[in-house]
Amino acid sequence: MTAAILLLAFVTLERLAELWLARRNTADLVARGAVEFAPGHYPLIVTLHAAWLAGLWWLGWDRPVHGGWLAVFAVLQIARVWVIATLGRRWTTRIIVLPGAPLVRHGPYRFLSHPNYAVVVGEIAVLPLVFGLPLYALVFSGLNAVVLAIRIRAEQAALGQSVHARRA
């Protein structure tokens, strides 16, 4: 088994585990009275990420792994774990707002409003570079930028409504 296959298998299993965790956390949050905002764009996010990963399997499975970019990707995975651990049971792949819950302001949220999206931006660009696929990285980074513009606008609106509800 090549290093490329091992890395792609790791990322695939990581994404599947995250979907399981997100589904569990979403169900828990909804049971506690949380509300989902702007679900219409969610299939677009899933499609983009699935296409990105499927394309990497198609194009990258037999390519050499570049160690420098792999190190950058490893740092991004540490940041991903930090984000998920900071949010705990509130981490999900959907926009789920628990009324009355304060915004998270510790961990990576001390430094960035959306650290999870910063990690995703990095991953979308860096993993193709691990396999020497700069054009692939550029194309998917552009597509991801469009999706994140929609997502962040929707999330900001949801959080704004939640803040207004807490003040009322």
Q: With a cut of 70, say whether residue 164 has pLDDT above it.
A: no
Check if the beta carbon of residue 1 is closer than 8 Å to that of residue 61. Answer: no
Name the DSSP class of 113: S
pLDDT at position 159 is: 83
Q: Report the Cα 28 to chain-centroid distance in Å.
A: 20
Q: Report the Cα 94 to chain-centroid distance in Å.
A: 10
pLDDT at position 62 is: 97
Q: With a cut of 70, say whether residue 163 has pLDDT above it.
A: no
- Over the stretch 104-155, which tens digit does the pLDDT of each residue have? 999 999 999 999 999 999 999 999 999 999 999 999 999 999 999 999 999 9
Q: How far is CA 131 from CA 83, 123, 125, 135, 144, in A?
A: 26, 13, 11, 11, 19
pLDDT at position 165 is: 47
Of 92, 104, 83, the closest CA to residue 24 belongs to 92
C-alpha torsion sign, points 154, 160, 165, 168: negative
pLDDT at position 160 is: 81
Mean pLDDT across the stretch 92-101? 94
- Over the stretch 144-157, which tens digit does the pLDDT of each residue have? 999 999 999 999 99
- Over the stretch 26-76, which tens digit does the pLDDT of each residue have? 999 999 999 999 999 999 999 999 999 999 999 999 999 999 999 999 999
C-alpha torsion sign, points 161, 166, 167, 168: positive
Determine the residue type at 99: P
pLDDT at position 43 is: 97
Name the DSSP class of 22: H
d(CA 55, CA 76): 20
**Which residue ranges form the domains of the chain, and what is each CATH number?**
3-167 (1.20.120.1630)
Q: How far is CA 20 from CA 65, 69, 84, in A?
A: 28, 28, 13
